[in-house]
Amino acid sequence: MSAVNLQLDENNKLRHFLSIEGLNRDLLLRILDSAESFINITGRSVKKVPALRGRVIANIFFEHSTRTRTTFELAAKRLSADVLNLNISTSATSKGETLLDTLRNLEAMDVDMFVMRHGDSGAAHFLASHANPGVSIINAGDGQHSHPTQAMLDMFTIRSVKGDFTPLRVAIVGDILHSRVARSQIMALNTLGVSEVRVIAPRTLIPSNARESLGVHVYHDMDEGIRNVDVIIMLRLQKERMNGALLPSEHEFFQCYGLTEERLQLADDEVTVMHPGPINRGVEMATAVADGKHSVILQQVTYGIAVRMAILSMAMQPSSAGRES
């Protein structure tokens, strides 16, 4: 079964959130609109709504990611859900229990939703295909495949700053080859109808058929690639996923592809600078750019909570409501 078939129920509503692939523009805009309704909760004295009171959400992170795990936990708690954080290093999976056994045992404890990050591409899809009715799976990043909630918080950030997606030229710079974030961003940007998506990187860090398979314009020259763009998204170099000497050195990467204040002048005067984090300062971008007036990197983190609140609430299955206390 394809990811899109798994993700939607018989009424075309979200059941799982595994990938941007196959989801239509209307659904992506509904996620963004729902996130908009949650954005002001942060400013309240009581930062909670009762939307998921009585529901149980388990965070299962087989890869470390403080930012993603924390924002998912905050999102669930602000929706009034009960949150279970599974410590993988001491869990039964480290003792030989299979992923499916972990799912079944937690389902037996009446867990309603699983937020999973895993190093294997397709792990979230596997869990979703075996989940019991009424149980939802949210992909918090799987291998080199997909990171759909990161893409949606990036889309929310872009819309908050720029408004209309249609006229935008967006450049994604860095390790396209290994980046699940880039793949999800590209799918979302094309689905939302931006004017142009550019990818900029050395030849060794871009898939050989990127133009055809991803629907992007490929640049190997940084200066040419960012010329007149409206949004620049810098990616973290995925050193832990790189096999072989794909780069001469981090220093040389910065010289050729690092975002500096000088290079930023080639882009549109009102260019927006983004990064999914964590930033390698002096490798992907200069500190002056990361902390400069065009940067919305900290806003991305803030918006991530609202976007994940939207996704958690939209994907929670009605059949789980019977367990509400």
- Please list the active-site residues: 67-68, 95, 117, 147
Residue by residue, DSSP assigns 86-121 as: E-GGGSGGGGT--HHHHHHHHHTTT--EEEEEESST
Q: Contact, 18 vs 144, CB < 8 A?
A: no
Residue 314 CA to residue 317 CA, distance in Å, equals 8
Question: SS in 3 state form for 198-237?
Answer: EEECCHHHCCCCHHHHHCCEEECCHHHHCCCCCEEEECCC
Alpha helices in 47-177 (DSSP H): 66-78, 99-107, 123-130, 148-162
**Which amino acid would we find at residue 267?**
A
Q: Dihedral sign, CA of 66, 58, 73, 127?
A: positive
Question: Do strands 196-200 and 136-142 pair parallel, antiparallel, or not at all (unpaired)?
Answer: unpaired
**What are the angstrom distances between the C-alpha of 187 and each of 17, 53, 155, 235?**
14, 33, 11, 16
Q: Could you identify the residue written with the tokens 């949606």?
A: 152
Q: How do the residues of the chain divide into helix, strand and coil, expressed in percent and rounded to 5?
A: 45, 15, 40
* Amino acid at residue number 141: G
